[in-house]
Amino acid sequence: MPRILRLPMLTAATAAVLACGTTSAQTVDTRIGKIDLFEGVPASAQTVQKLFDESDFQRASQAYVWALPLVGFAQWQADARNVFGAKDTDMVIYQSVQDKLGILTANATTPYIIGLPDLSKTGPLVIDYPAGNSAGGVGDFWQRPLTDMGETGPDAGKGGKYLVVGPGQEAPRANGYRVVHSPTVNIFVAFRALDADPAKANSLIQKFRMYSYADRASSSPTRFLRPDGRKWSQVPPRGLAYWERLADIIQREPVMERDRVMMGMLQPLGLEKGKPFAPDERQRKILEDGAKIGELFAQANAFDGRAPGAQYRSGAQWRYVIAFDPSQESKYYTQVDGRADYFYQAVTTSKGMVTRTPGVGQAYLAEYRDKDDQVLDGSKNYVLHVPANPPAKLFWSLTVYDTDQRVLIDNGKGVADKSSRQDLLKNADGSVDIYVGADAPSGKEKNWIPSVPGKAWFAMFRLYGPLQPYFDAAFELPDFEQAR
């Protein structure tokens, strides 16, 4: 076969050079400034380095968005171990507003019971889940649900034994277990006790057990820990600490086939599986800048998102909190923007959180701006009119969050939500007016959530056991208005 000589494609700058018969330097105007060329290629080592730096910065910015779900769980696991001393089969109970100040958009109504086991240490893991009124689940460390437990799970609230098997582990041949395979070594095990009676909720919690299958014959009762006022945070850290957390969990997890391209993009930044993370000065600066811009991308995505169909009702500010499939996959692509929208402001998903079955699971709406399309300002006073009989089989709640940290608002009063389980003042027609602001509404303090002057906030409206009017978008929840 004759050899075919392939000539490089001419750039516009090169074509101009050839046309005028000269080899003088040229420049190209770009988004990152003027790039000097010589005979159509970068003109100097400094220009080449500028291009490499920009390429690495863009990769870091996008990698921040890509890594949000993984870093969120890894940060939670690290603080549970380092602050609370939690082991692989321990569970932590987060009950008060103070307990939950480290959790991205936790509800303030029901207790959370959370464990973050490492299956490489436990081997196949047994979860002996109790019967009763609860919502639970197991997720992998990319925050993809593996199974629901409780009312929306295969046990349908009757309880049962789940057996979680990690990558490379063989499922034991044993009867009486629902086998769950995890693609990640580390997992998230969680449930919420939904019973309004604290004694019944606590009884259900104490019946939960989690232990290694190998220790099934001699397992001890599960140890339950509490924050007890200790400061902790599950919120993805900022700056270089974000990449340090990512670098650590990358070493402890298998690389998914879908993530191999991103792993290749991280390699020039010093994040590579099998190698220590020791960025040089140039890499550190790029990573810190990338985390800063990446978070701004995430903020715009979460609070002013462009996802089609995210608005709950035409003409209203309320948006669906979960606007992606919990699997994080669509037919042709991984839903990077959709999952980043959610995991920047929240943590964990389950099938019960996106159910379309009336009376089962939960539903979530969020509002970031008031009726006049202005950011919700902690220095001002607002009112939300909740119509009578919201479509919830169990109860509804309105919870307020600090926009900067995306956690329960820390107003010093331990009040971050109002719900139908509380003794609220009602209007004659059964509707409720909830006040959020810096000043207590005279005579209506029961319905007041204090804001923090100088800090923006947003709100989530939850329906537990959502009913058909919610699914039909017929629930006409008004927007927040400034109280006058």
Q: CATH code at 271?
A: 1.10.3360.10
* Amino acid type, 305: G
* Contact of 72 with 344, CB cutoff 8 Å: no
User: What is the spatial distance between Cα 448 and Cα 441, in angstroms, rounded to a whole number?
Assistant: 7
Q: How many CB atoms lie within 10 A of CB 306?
A: 9
Residues 253 and 372 in one domain: no
Is 78 a domain residue? Answer: no
Residues 325 and 445 in one domain: yes
Residues 204 and 244 in one domain: no
Is 422 a domain residue? Answer: yes
Q: Which residue has the higher pLDDT, 323 or 448?
A: 448
Residues 164 and 252 in one domain: no
pLDDT at 308: 87
In DSSP terms, 191 is beta-bridged to 113, 136
CATH number of the domain bearing residue 413: 2.60.120.600
Is 213 a domain residue? Answer: yes
| C-alpha distance from residue 58 to each of 55, 259, 346 (Å) | 5, 17, 25
| Mean pLDDT of the 459-473 span | 96
Question: DSSP code of 420?
Answer: T
User: What is the spatial distance between Cα 395 and Cα 387, in angstroms, rounded to a whole number?
Assistant: 14
Residues 173 and 210 in one domain: yes
Residue ending a domain, choose from 225, 255, 286: 225
Is 470 a domain residue? Answer: yes
What is the percentage of the chain residues whose pLDDT exceeds 70?
95
pLDDT at 18: 43
Residues 344 and 478 in one domain: yes
**Domain membership of residue 117 as a residue range:** 84-225
Full-model pTM: 0.91
Residue 43 has pLDDT above 50, yes or no: yes
Q: Identify the top-confidence range among 10-19, 161-170, 299-308.
A: 161-170
Tally of CA atoms within 13 A in the half-sphere of 289 that contains its CB: 14
Residue 152 has pLDDT above 80, yes or no: yes
Is 50 a domain residue? Answer: no
Is 467 a domain residue? Answer: yes
| Mean pLDDT of the 101-107 span | 96
Per-residue pLDDT band at 355 (split at 50, 70, 90): confident
Per-residue pLDDT band at 351 (split at 50, 70, 90): confident
pLDDT at 23: 54
Q: Report residue 339 as tokens.
A: 């999952």
Residues 249 and 213 in one domain: no
Residue ending a domain, choose from 191, 225, 259: 225
Is 6 a domain residue? Answer: no
Q: Report residue 262 as tokens.
A: 């991103």
User: What is the spatial distance between Cα 241 and Cα 239, in angstroms, rounded to a whole number?
Assistant: 5
Question: DSSP code of 459?
Answer: E
* Contact of 30 with 47, CB cutoff 8 Å: no
Is 141 a domain residue? Answer: yes
Residue 200 has φ and ψ, to the nearest 5°, of -70, -40
Residues 293 and 434 in one domain: no
| Mean pLDDT of the 124-136 span | 96
Please count the structural domains in the chain.
4
Per-residue pLDDT band at 24 (split at 50, 70, 90): low
Q: Which residue has the higher pLDDT, 14 or 166?
A: 166
Which residues, in sequence order, are CB contacts of 135 under 8 Å at separation 6+?
148, 150, 151, 152, 191, 192, 194, 350, 352, 361, 362
Residues 298 and 435 in one domain: no
pLDDT at 484: 79
Residues 443 and 477 in one domain: yes
| Mean pLDDT of the 315-320 span | 94
| Mean pLDDT of the 38-60 span | 95
Q: For 401-412, write each residue's pLDDT tens digit.
A: 999 999 999 999
User: What is the spatial distance between Cα 454 and Cα 476, in angstroms, rounded to a whole number?
Assistant: 30
CATH number of the domain bearing residue 219: 2.60.40.1610
Q: For 290-302, write each residue's pLDDT tens digit.
A: 999 999 999 999 9
Q: For 180-220, write each residue's pLDDT tens digit.
A: 999 999 999 999 999 889 999 999 999 999 999 999 999 89
Residue 8 has pLDDT above 50, yes or no: no
Residue 21 has pLDDT above 70, yes or no: no
Residues 221 and 239 in one domain: no
Q: Which residue has the higher pLDDT, 71 or 14?
A: 71
Per-residue pLDDT band at 310 (split at 50, 70, 90): very high
Residue 80 has pLDDT above 70, yes or no: yes
User: What is the spatial distance between Cα 93 and Cα 233, in angstroms, rounded to a whole number?
Assistant: 14
pLDDT at 452: 97
Q: For 253-287, write each residue's pLDDT tens digit.
A: 999 999 999 999 999 999 999 999 999 999 999 99
* Mean pLDDT score across all residues of the chain: 93
Q: For 428-460, write each residue's pLDDT tens digit.
A: 999 999 999 999 999 999 999 999 999 999 999
Where is average pLDDT lowest: 120-124, 346-350, 377-381?
Answer: 346-350
Q: Report residue 35 as tokens.
A: 């790039």
Q: Report residue 138 as tokens.
A: 């197991």
Residue ending a domain, choose from 207, 225, 243: 225
Residues 329 and 461 in one domain: yes
Tell me the DSSP string of 184-212: SSBEEEEEEE--SSHHHHHHHHHH-EEEE
Q: Pick the closest to residue 252 from 77, 426, 465 (CA basis).
A: 77
Residue 352 has pLDDT above 90, yes or no: no
